[in-house]
Amino acid sequence: MSVDLSARAVDLVELMDDPAADEEALGRTYRRFSAVNAVVSRPGRLYRRDIRPRAVAGRPLRILDIGAGGGDLCRDLVRRLRRDGLRADITALDADERAIHWASAHDDGAGIRYRHALSGDLVAAGDTYDVVLSNHVLHHLDAAALRAVLDDSRALVGDRGLISHHDIARSRLAYGAFAVGTWPFARNLLAGSFIRVDGLLSIRRSYTPRELAAVAPPGWEVRSHLPARLELRWEGADGRP
């Protein structure tokens, strides 16, 4: 059966967003994210382009990951920074208490600060960061929530920080590639998790570059990356601490 990708399927609900989702399956999903995102999200590119150049010896780089889920991106950044002899003060933020509970229990010595809260709570507390980022969050948000996250992100980095929100770009190629690429692992690596089903639902909920540019506030830039990636970016001054 053909899937309609002509417009965002905003009424679809991903399995892991169900408050009654099976906890064991949810845990397996968080655990598998690191392997899947290593291919889909390419955190090494983010590190080389935006994190490593801003890290200064002797001063921890302040990073906030909004909608951090199981914390795999945060842990990946810590490993890369430590390898290069650099430090970061990383906060993993998520509105889902289940995600924060799982991530904090699987910190593996990364020393990340885990917060069950909204980005607006951090703004109210007067928190500031050098870099605010997210991965696979934008497609979850309705128009009001998206604007709130973007406004909060701006407040949290001040005039000189960097904001880099990454997500999937909706297209027939992206949908087909994910469906075909995950099929061989459906009964082994991805078995008992929500990744394959939710990944396809996520693509149907996601933006195209033109759609994201149409809802982005002035001053924000939409960039396209391979494979089938979108970045909504704001950079103040030279974007460096």
Evaluate if residue 148 carries a pLDDT over 90. yes
Evaluate if residue 241 carries a pLDDT over 70. no
pLDDT band of 238, cuts 50, 70, 90: low
| CA–CA dist 77, 86 (Å, integer) | 10
Could you read off the pLDDT of 104-113 as tens digits, one per residue?
A: 999 999 999 9
Closest CA to 61 of 126, 157, 154: 157
Could you read off the pLDDT of 150-159 as tens digits, one per residue?
A: 999 999 999 9
Can you tell me the mean pLDDT for 171-195?
A: 96
pLDDT band of 59, cuts 50, 70, 90: confident
Residues 6 or more apart whose CB falls under 8 angstroms from that of 241 comprise 54, 56, 59, 61, 62, 130, 160, 161
